[in-house]
């Protein structure tokens, strides 16, 4: 395994997932709630790893076999993100002055995990970043794609678990109802912006 190419994959993987998006906003909120954090981080990291491996090993074959996948994921993902954004905004608007991060209504493990997987697998941007972009970049390193993929997978695990458990440090800030409402509003508009970009083909 080439260490330099491993590091390149690690840095590329991190650079693509650091930006605030639907998945990251959800992990941050779960971390603040201290609710099913390990399962959510693991689900996102394993999903990313599977998509990275798919992109590195099978990018061209997937594009030829499933030409209908792009429009399906684009419109389905946009619809889901629009709904989730509305749900978050509703939560922000109905929050009372007594609501705190710790007192927020808890979701079941199954509901949380299903939402997490939907935000991951129904978002075409995830496929663009992991399958298409990382898959394409890996072709620059013939014979060393395994090192590149291992680095990118490591980056996903590091980022998701750092985000989920690092949110603990922000918990005192979000003990204020106003901060929690701001987060819910930010999540809502993040989802809507991504949905709008998907419908626009961006």
In three-state form (DSSP H/G/I as H, E/B as E, the rest C), the secondary structure along the chain is CCHHHHHHHHHHHHHHHCCCCHHHHHHHHHHHHCCCHHHHHHHHHHHHHHHHHHHHHHHHHHHHHCCCHHHHHHHHHHHHHHHHHHHHHHHHHHCCCCCCCCCCCCCCHHHHHHHHHHHHHCCHHHHHHHHHHHHHHHCCCCCCHHHHHHHHHHHHHHHHHHHHHHHHHHCCHHHCHHHHHHHHHHHHHHHHHHHHHHHCCC
What is the model's pTM?
0.70
Query: What's the CA gap between 156 and 140, in Å, rounded?
Result: 21
143: left (phi over 0), alpha (psi -120 to 50) or beta: left
Q: Residue ranges per domain, the chain?
A: 3-98+109-200
Q: pLDDT tens digit string along 127-162?
A: 877 887 788 778 778 888 899 999 999 999 999 999
Provide the 10 A C-beta neighbour count for residue 53: 20
Mean of the pLDDT values across residues 169-192? 77
Going by pLDDT thresholds of 50, 70 and 90, the confidence category of residue 47 is very high
Provide the 10 A C-beta neighbour count for residue 11: 13
Q: Name which residue leads in pLDDT, 72 or 47.
A: 47
Query: What's the CA gap between 23 and 61, in Å, rounded?
Result: 27
């Amino acid at each position: 395994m080439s260490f330099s190419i491993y590091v390149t994959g690690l840095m590329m993987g991190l650079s693509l997932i650091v930006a605030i998006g639907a998945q990251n906003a959800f992990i941050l909120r779960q971390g603040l709630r201290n609710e099913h954090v390990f399962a959510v981080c693991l689900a996102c990291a394993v999903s990313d790893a599977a998509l990275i491996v798919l992109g590195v090993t099978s990018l061209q074959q997937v594009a030829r076999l499933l030409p209908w996948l792009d429009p399906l994921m684009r419109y389905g993902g946009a619809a889901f993100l629009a709904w989730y954004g509305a749900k978050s905004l509703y939560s922000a608007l109905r929050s009372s002055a007594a609501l705190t991060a710790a007192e927020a209504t808890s979701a079941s493990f199954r509901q949380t995990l299903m939402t997490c997987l939907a935000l991951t697998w129904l978002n075409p941007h995830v496929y663009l970043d992991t399958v298409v972009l990382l898959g394409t970049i890996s072709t620059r390193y013939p014979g060393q794609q395994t090192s590149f993929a291992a680095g990118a997978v490591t980056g996903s695990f590091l980022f998701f678990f750092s985000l989920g458990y690092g949110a603990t440090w922000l918990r005192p800030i979000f003990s204020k109802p106003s901060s929690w409402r701001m987060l819910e509003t930010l999540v809502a508009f993040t989802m809507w912006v991504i949905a709008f970009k998907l419908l626009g083909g961006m």
